[in-house]
Structure 1
Amino acid sequence: MHLPTNQKKPFFRSPAGWATLGTMPVLALGAFLLWPSATPSHAADAQDASAPDARAKYVNRGLFSSGSEEPGEEQAKLITGRVYSIDGQPLAGVQVSATSFAIAGNLPTTVASLDTDAEGRFEMRLADGSYQLVANKGGYGPSFVPAQTGDTVSMVLTKSGVVQGRVLDADRAPMQRFVIDVLTAAPDSFAAPMPLFSKRFEGTNGAFEVDQLPAWPVVIRATAVDHAPAFSPPVYIEKPGDTRDIELQLGDGCVLEGTVKDGAGRPLVDVFVDAEARFPGGVSEVSMEAAARAESDEQGRFRIEHGPSGKVVLRGYDGEHAPSTLVVEVANCQPSKPLDLVMSGGGSIAGVARKGDGTPLPGARLTLMQRAIGFVNVIADEEGEFRFDSIPPGNTRLELLYGHQRTSTSVRVEEGAVTERDITIHPAGQGEIRGRITANGTPLAGVQVLVAANRGRTEGLDIRYPVTDKDGLYKLSGLPEGHYAVNVVTSAKTEGVQVEEGQVAVLDLDIAAPQKTSARDEAE
């Protein structure tokens, strides 16, 4: 079943007041702060045999080191953690996969995958940079979190509901070979999330079943060779074990032909072009990767077979320009305007990374994130100065990393301009938050806790990441006074607490306890 292109209601509206800033439960903090099978994907099986081989010169800028993406001894670092069930038990045999953006900035690609040990632990050695992790195990909802090398990022899995159904062709005959992906939504100011589940199905009746669904709304996508993708409406199964039936119908889709040019109108060769379907979201539109790709030829021409209809986003990547975007309405496979994708130089962001006292922070790590670019990382120089170039126009999220503390803020990039923006690690105070993280009373060791305060539009979000000890205890000292949201990362458990100067605030969280519902949520 296809979503009507004239649908006026938001494509995503989460239960209990979650706007789908939520690519993961930690982003449920958005309501408070206005912030934001792990089996390898088989989506390539759904491509045409003529799909491009990514010869274009795109460079993955999500790595802090330059050169090869293969981690050498001098640049490889670890991401470690544990995976728990919602009742606090370590989960063995959970597949944890890491993705980066090696092909295109909006196209997550798996770079590593492993299984947790008998104690639910994992240790992943990766090139120094930014990644997205997803954890999958049959019968459990997947867990998803962005991470930097050096982080400890434990994850929590809940029991899953089940989606079952059939995939049909345009004549309503059962498809015999197809791929099912579980997709989640994120606003364009965040990196494109990887599929939470991906599996190839084969048979004579077009049947499929997915028993790995998260605790927030998702979209089920079906793809197959020589067909356009089909997207379900948002699916949310609140109770573990409940079943939802859906039917997806694949059609031929549309041929999207056009030309890639530079700013002077000259054709560009070897530009990687992919297509996304665009849907209305809770607070803005969201994009879903449509498994349709091409590469421009010597005349700059590209041809995407079996592309989506409705509102379509075309993105181009070549490594010499900023990632560039063209949005077009496609009705009855007729685009509303010529498909001339103009590759631009984009804009820049430059500034100084500073400590809380205003002094420069040399060697600081800074990350940009946006759907078109994935992650872009730089390291500040000896004077704390940093610069990002070839960034697409629009809103981009900038983060400054310093130990277990981050400052996150939104920056508007303008075409051909340099946006000056200093960013400061928030100063220390005399307050403290401490507590214990449990699941049905069982202490959770090695769990990352996100503690965040909104310091305003100019100063951004003050984010800190303590990790629980062997007894499930966490402690965060040196906090300025203010109101903080405390979230057990990758769980839905978030509560607020007031910190007073020179005082200790105690907040215990049990991830298995029902989430408190605010009056605002009940009103919605």
Structure 2
Amino acid sequence: DGFTRCAPVDVTLVRDGTHEPLEIRLERGGTILGRVQRPDGTPAAGATVRQRITMESLRSLGAEENGIPRAATAGSDGNFRFGELGAGLVQLVASLDGFATSTIVEAQVKPGEETCDVVLTLRVGGRITGEVYAKDGTPAAGAQVIAQLTADPLAQRFATSDREGLFAFEHMAPGTYQVLHIPGMGGASSDPEDATAMFGDMKMASATVEDGAEVHVVLGAPPKDPVEISGRVLAGEAGVPSVVLSFIPDAIDTISGLKLATTDAGGRYSLRLDGPGRYTVSIQKPGASGQQQSITLSLDVPSGASFGHDFHLPLGSIAGRVTDGEGRPAAHVRVSLFESGPVRNGTLMGEHYSEIETGEDGRYELVWLKPREYAVAVGGVALGGLLGGTSTSGRQVREGVVVQAERRTDGVDFQLRKPGRITGVVRQADGTPAPEAAIFARDAQGRPLERLSMIATDSSGRFTYEGLEPGDYTVMARKDTLTTGESARLRVEEGRTAEVELALHGGTILLVSLVGEDGQALDCTVSVLDEAGRQVNGTLALTEIMAAFSNGTLNSKEQRVGPLTPGKYRVTVVADDGRKTTKPVTLSGQAERKLNIRL
């Protein structure tokens, strides 16, 4: 009593050698004294006050009863006392039946001291109503529906439809939600094929909630102009089983139009699309623990009751072996693949993305690759640091790995080194901490260590970037339309920690498109280089991907880049017929800049 729960302690077990003593330090907890009030300012008796759950805090939830953090309860006068809190900036949120949660309030906690006069105000909230339909077009009774706040993947609510397929979410906090129904969710089957089939029937819509307002969504309504599409996924002449196909409609409400299918043992698939038009199709070979190998293609679906199309996967591949510092096979090490160079419009990070692990013999193989150059990265923290953790190996990136048509590029081997780390703080322009800012790192050659950033700042604006190979790095942060730009070079040494401070400022979203002589938009690839020659497009944060799916900004005719700092950039676009043009562009800090290039 009187002490706060200690921070998680990472322990490395080695086969040989002497283990250092495990030291766990307890610190005196701080206390927050405050008041919870209703929207009209009256006391909110019985309201619950909790620390906001973030991805960073998930690592330590296992220490709490039932995985739920401790809470404080407001008395009859609305006052609460929340003790034994860890030092630092904490985010508090209050809840009470009949109201939406309060806005998030930050408070500074000091060991052994009281922080007073913290006020949490509940909101009226909005209402999401909806109707859900089964595959045959009839109302789906007893369907479980999830509403997930786009800006916070951990903020979820659940509802069940009635006999007429109607459902409602009451007292929802303002924001944009993904509303979805997954038939069969909650079943006991652990078969991956059952799981992918279940997600293939998933129905989704997007809803924007305002305080005191109501919004209605429809899940799975029979489309007006449906197209039944079917075919096979082939590698050479052989069908590819158990792969997931995602059909993403172009430049509309991506969430509601997203359709999924899974191939059978012969590589066959079939599903019903809501209508004709351009689709971005992702074909994914799923693996354990978030692993995947995927290729993204474009498909124009014509009008008509049915359409047949076979997908022929490219047969190029990359293979190699990863060893530790002593030359022994390194098992279960992260291996990532992404494209070197330009990024195709309509894709998030290019046509190819893979995240796998080495086998027990340290070997790996990356498949379904078109002839071109790729970057292969190994080592680093599991899942890119999504759930924190440490790594026993530093991240290495090798660019310019060439794959020829239907050929295997072998011998792309790596020997791991012990890592260091970078810690830092990101601040707003006024000097206050910037929570939930995405962190990106580049090595000395300017190569991004991750195309998909899973690392973000905590409520105090702090972050830790683990699993860095000794060497020089730059880091940057961005959040919404704000960016810090690249930091000065930081030297990382084995087992040591480098420190950095970053400040967010207004950035510019650059929108790049290409048109032909007739003014029609053309398919193309895009490369945007800064003054140092570093490519600045093709990197995304997890929150940015969720936003792209919710607001329909994933467009095959336009690429969204940034936010970028003020400065000079060179934009190169290449049409599918090989025609190429390069344009300079100067950004001065405006919120958005459209660059429509004509061939």
- For the superposition of Structure 1 and Structure 2, which TM-score range results when normalised by the shorter chain? 0.3 to 0.5
Structure showing greater Rg: 2
Please give the TM-score of this superposition, normalised by the length of structure 2: 0.41
Higher relative contact order (CA 8 A, sep 6+): 1
TM-score scaled by length of structure 1: 0.46
